[in-house]
Structure 1
């Protein structure tokens, strides 16, 4: 792929949006770009060759495998975002985590973790931006753990849908529309309940007139209730 296209992809990501053109063009020479199909897994690499990914377009599901070989959904990402070896080679913590593409034509830029670490060392402004984004992810994880302790399944589902709508919803008239790229099992794993419970709770919200859903879309009625 041309340096020009890599430049445009990086420029579209908030991590690099304010970087001078000359510096961004230099960084673009180090980046690799991949267009992934739905269902594809993205390799984090291993050893000294782990990777850091920038999500430019599309949706990603981060998944872990527990001791019983069950899939645990850790997060759902929408562009723009970052994922992969966020420790940049300092902590070997991604052995069981993998990223699965949820939508077609998902575009990622990626760097070897060591190269990206040196890039941050040479560019303090980017390093601060990166640190802020990693901290935001940690804060999101803290909130999720707090929800597991203090909120019931219905409250967790509503909170998840609100977050999903804020990140990826489109306001059309008097409703918010979400493209439904998640299964009930995915949602259940994120909010730590069963698929059957998710189905029951969605039916309750539908019967209350708050939403409609099918395999392709979720429509949230009365947007003020979902803000």
Structure 2
């Protein structure tokens, strides 16, 4: 494949050759969420140039990590998606998200945010062992509205999916505020009192939220 070569017989070096270039991991992040058109990738990645995005996508296709497909009618759109080999990187992405969380705060001026990045972030820190049975709604605001998620705890651990939270205990907060609540750096009651979070339904249920995640132990 084209690009950096490390001339080392090492699996980590091979992986770095494929995903170590600037923007490549963020392209994979987007494709883990859904297949994307070229224009969608450019819009969501922000500062990447068309030429550089084309170069990165071509390198990933050459490596067998990404493929280009045409959606059937009525869409008739050409999109990029991960191959089976590409999707196999998801556990490594999960661990990178967990590790990167140590350096997430303080927020930097001008940083952008896409609400569906919440899925990857919360999935990375979700408990994979038994937790208390509960179902909690989450609403993350962004400039054009809010995006809803359903968080469920039970014997198999914690799961997160997109969905509306009508009829169940729910919390609405910016994602940075939510992470502080999950990490037990900001008590739920304080977040509500300050106006940083809004809640509805059972407060008792909502106080279980930090116990559904493993963020509290992910410290420097």
Larger RCO (CA within 8 A; separation ≥ 6): 1
Query: What's the TM-score, normalizing by structure 2?
Result: 0.28
Query: What's the TM-score, normalizing by structure 1?
Result: 0.28
